[in-house]
Chain A
Amino acid sequence: MSRISKAFSHLHETGSKALIPYIMAGDPSLEATKKYISDLEAAGADIIELGVPFSDPLADGPTIQRASERALKHGTTLKKVLALVTEIRKTSEIPIILMTYYNLIFHYGVRTFVQDAVKAGVDGVIIPDLIPDEADELIVPARKYGLDTIFLLAPTSTKDRIAIATKAATGFIYYVSMTGITGSRLTTGKAMRDTLNSIRKDAGKPVAIGFGVSTPDEAAKVAVLADGVIVGSAIVKRIAEGKDIKKFVRSLKNAISKNRAVK
């Protein structure tokens, strides 16, 4: 069982939800990122989603775009991020997922990337511009070497698309809470609840909700609908402003821990 699956299964047993904070590697520096990850873990994060900066992050809103620009300016590359994960693995077993765009991995060499990532201690990848239909080149080695491939679903997803993504996803399914980009405003409605229920029931895989969760209140609201909550822009923004993130992340964790309505 992968570290990610173990984390979800452990949380499920205790009736809790996963808190999955996102930060951008290399913003403002890789040393800082290392420190932030240990802060996040200490503050109650269950899984870390680590962004790898790309020149054209078309699924991201302005907050993460700017973080991406800063990280690139400081020379952050996929190779260096893998080295950072190797370093972190010396002291931590927290599941780590890389989120980046497909060209970085494609250019690195997909099979080599999978091997190097697993060797470094990366547990999964989220690639917002890679749909399962185009992902064979990634999925085949990922299964072989043990890297979770997390695919996304959205409120616009039809039954066909849900079936395709749930089949290809391992670890969990990333449900985009709205049609939009990261950092947009959140809405939860009945349609979303119905879709989520059907995904969780049919797929039998954990679902985490991301995009648009920026306060403990919102985190609590979406936590009851899913197995995990992803918070990105709100944390990245605090980092950009030089604010402490520990207290904020702890408040997110507390907010979702109160909601134990697991179905």
Chain B
Amino acid sequence: MKKQFFNVPDSSGHFGQYGGRFVPETLMPALIELEEAYLNLKKDKTFLRKLKELQKDFIGRATPLYFAENLTQKIGGAKIYLKREDLCHTGAHKINNALAQALLAKKMGKTRVIAETGAGQHGVATATGAALAGLECDVYMGAEDVRRQSLNVFRMKLLGAKVIEVTLGSKTLKDAINEALRDWTTNVRNTHYVMGTAFGPHPYPMMVRNFQSVIGQEARRQILQKEKRLPDCLIACVGGGSNSIGLFHPFLKDNIKMIGVEAGGLGVKSGKHAARFAGGSLGVFQGCKSYLLQDDDGNVLGTHSVSAGLDYASVGPEHAYLRDMHKVEYTSVKDNEALKAFELLSRTEGIIPALESSHAIAQGIKTAKKLGNKSIIIINLSGRGDKDVQEVAKIKGISL
């Protein structure tokens, strides 16, 4: 029997045994309303035309598929292409989803959007979408992250958003999501929650995937144009998993090797990581069923990664499903490997990648070495590294 990898989720949001809707009842009408509105918009030609126009003129799509010739030569294996999501407006793939959701919120008659953010990229993207659509915008951010990412906090404020510091719990991304969900539960009538990744309750994992699939659709077209054939391997980093599912999804019908890269932190054995597949187990967290880093009693564990965008205790349910189906392979890359790749790409190609994307680059280098020089790899360069420069300097003991 041919497996229908691309025919998920089912009508209530299940990807096999993963996904679903694990939320307070108060939110159910809003999730149903959102799902209906989204499914209608998918057929709304005016909306789709508007979205396409803004993808082109506002975000700057299509982003290039760039042949990294220097890196390819330096590694001496497969041809490496980079999908340049770092060139998107606001500096990462996050805007693909945030802009579309802001337009959707406007269309639904909501006057306010809220979002969670870790490093601030999704917060900035949502603030940007809200500014364009003329919506009020509040962004929840852990106090710890506010301190680490002061530049992005100021960017959000410049864009007219309010940044709400979360001081409860571990004061990081997961606590920001808890607070955003609490806010949404309270203000559900006029507020839309712009979730930043392919996670949470249905329809978010499906909707965010579809808004991000523009990455893979373009990449597929571009590689066929340049190489007259499909690539042998796709590689992307996986936090919640939106940039990776965006790249992978349009290729699921093809027989291509795909690798999702999680944050290995200080190593899976150290316990300080965000490798949910290697170190986690099945759980229910923040709206859906998936792999989760949890203790023996089912409480959620703290995570660690040098990159804030991968530093999360669970992973998008479709990834768990694709792993079970043996369609995508998941691996992890440690902090120090990612930092090396960060520097290597900067020097060889003149591109400073985000620390998240640096995990994909590090894995790409390993894979390229193994594959022969007739092979082709596409790595999703999901964001630019400007936001990480201060952090990297700090790690290297350089004061700016």
The chain B residues found within 8 Å of chain A, CB to CB, are 12, 20-30, 32, 168-169, 174-175, 178, 181-182, 185-189, 281-287, 289, 292, 294, 297-300
With contacts A58-B181, A62-B168, A158-B29 known, is A108 near B24, CB below 8 A? no
Are A56's CB and B174's CB within 8 A?
A: yes
Write out the residue numbers on chain B whose beta carbons fall within 8 Å of the beta carbon of A158.
29, 32
With contacts A58-B286, A181-B182 known, is A130 near B22, CB below 8 A? yes
With contacts A62-B168, A180-B185, A181-B186 known, is A103 near B300, CB below 8 A? yes
Q: With contacts A65-B168, A105-B298, A180-B186 known, what are 6 further pairs, Cβ within 8 A?
A: A56-B300, A69-B169, A103-B284, A131-B25, A157-B26, A176-B24
Are A107's CB and B25's CB within 8 A?
A: no
Q: How far is the CA of A97 from the CA of B117 in the complex (A)?
A: 36
With contacts A56-B174, A133-B21, A161-B28 known, is A179 near B286, CB below 8 A? no
Are A54's CB and B299's CB within 8 A?
A: yes
Write out the residue numbers on chain B whose beta carbons fall within 8 Å of the beta carbon of A131.
21-23, 25, 28
With contacts A103-B300, A161-B25, A176-B25 known, is A156 near B182, CB below 8 A? no
Are A103's CB and B294's CB within 8 A?
A: yes
Q: How far is the CA of A78 from the CA of B289 in the complex (A)?
A: 20
Q: List 8 A-B contacts (CB under 8 A).
A: A55-B300, A56-B178, A58-B182, A103-B294, A129-B284, A133-B12, A157-B26, A165-B25
Write out the residue numbers on chain A whose beta carbons fall within 8 Å of the beta carbon of B181.
58
**Chain A 58-95 against B: per-residue CB contact (8 Å), 1 yes, 0 no?**
11011001100100100001110000000000000000
Are B298's CB and A107's CB within 8 A?
A: yes
A19 to chain B, nearest CB (A): 23
A157 to chain B, nearest CB (A): 7
Are A59's CB and B29's CB within 8 A?
A: no
B300 to chain A, nearest CB (A): 5
**Chain A 105-124 against B: per-residue CB contact (8 Å), 1 yes, 0 no?**
11110000000000000000
Q: Which of A55, A106, A108 has the most CB of B within 10 A?
A: A55
Contact for A179 among B186, B289, B300, CB less than 8 A:
B186
Write out the residue numbers on chain A whose beta carbons fall within 8 Å of the beta carbon of B29.
156-158, 161
Write out the residue numbers on chain A whose beta carbons fall within 8 Å of the beta carbon of B182.
58-59, 61, 181
Q: How far is the CA of A237 from the CA of B298 in the complex (A)?
A: 26
A93-152 with Cβ < 8 A to chain B: 101-108, 128-131, 133-134, 151-152
B16 to chain A, nearest CB (A): 14
Q: How far is the CA of A87 from the CA of B219 in the complex (A)?
A: 63
With contacts A56-B169, A56-B286, A107-B283 known, is A134 near B22, CB below 8 A? yes
Are A59's CB and B24's CB within 8 A?
A: yes
Are B25's CB and A103's CB within 8 A?
A: no
Q: How far is the CA of A114 from the CA of B20 in the complex (A)?
A: 22
List the 3 shortest-distance A-B pairs measured between CB atoms, nearest first.
A107-B298, A154-B26, A55-B299
With contacts A55-B299, A58-B178 known, is A129 near B22, CB below 8 A? yes
Chain B residue with the shortest CB-CB distance to A55 = B299
B240 to chain A, nearest CB (A): 15
Write out the residue numbers on chain A whose beta carbons fall within 8 Å of the beta carbon of B32.
158
A58 to chain B, nearest CB (A): 5
With contacts A54-B299, A55-B300, A72-B299 known, is A152 near B186, CB below 8 A? no
B187 to chain A, nearest CB (A): 7
With contacts A128-B24, A161-B25 known, is A179 near B187, CB below 8 A? yes
Chain B residue with the shortest CB-CB distance to A59 = B24
With contacts A78-B297, A104-B298 known, is A179 near B26, CB below 8 A? yes
Q: How far is the CA of A128 from the CA of B28 in the complex (A)?
A: 12
Q: Is A47 an interface residue (CB 8 A)?
A: no
Q: How far is the CA of A161 from the CA of B282 in the complex (A)?
A: 28
Write out the residue numbers on chain A whose beta carbons fall within 8 Å of the beta carbon of B185.
59, 179-181
Write out the residue numbers on chain B whose beta carbons fall within 8 Å of the beta carbon of A54.
298-299
Q: How far is the CA of A131 from the CA of B29 in the complex (A)?
A: 12
Q: Which of B285, B287, B298 has the most CB of A within 10 A?
A: B298
Q: How far is the CA of A102 from the CA of B182 in the complex (A)?
A: 17
Write out the residue numbers on chain B whose beta carbons fall within 8 Å of the beta carbon of A55.
169, 299-300
B372 to chain A, nearest CB (A): 45
Q: Is A239 an interface residue (CB 8 A)?
A: no
Are A156's CB and B298's CB within 8 A?
A: no
With contacts A56-B174, A107-B283, A181-B186 known, is A134 near B20, CB below 8 A? yes
Q: Is A251 an interface residue (CB 8 A)?
A: no
With contacts A65-B169, A156-B188 known, is A129 near B299, CB below 8 A? no
Q: How far is the CA of A58 from the CA of B285 in the complex (A)?
A: 10
Q: Is A153 an interface residue (CB 8 A)?
A: yes
Chain A residue with the shortest CB-CB distance to B175 = A56
Q: Is A9 an interface residue (CB 8 A)?
A: no
Are A103's CB and B285's CB within 8 A?
A: yes
Q: How far is the CA of A46 from the CA of B15 in the complex (A)?
A: 42
Are A103's CB and B292's CB within 8 A?
A: yes
Q: How far is the CA of A178 from the CA of B286 in the complex (A)?
A: 21
Write out the residue numbers on chain B whose beta carbons fall within 8 Å of the beta carbon of A152.
24-26
Contact for B26 among A79, A130, A156, CB less than 8 A:
A156
Are B284's CB and A106's CB within 8 A?
A: yes
Q: How far is the CA of A62 from the CA of B186 in the complex (A)?
A: 14
Contact for A78 among B168, B281, B298, CB less than 8 A:
B298
Q: How far is the CA of A105 from the CA of B283 in the complex (A)?
A: 10
Write out the residue numbers on chain A whose beta carbons fall within 8 Å of the beta carbon of B175.
56
Chain B residue with the shortest CB-CB distance to A107 = B298
Write out the residue numbers on chain A whose beta carbons fall within 8 Å of the beta carbon of B168.
62, 65-66, 69
Q: Is A254 an interface residue (CB 8 A)?
A: no
Q: How far is the CA of A108 from the CA of B283 in the complex (A)?
A: 10
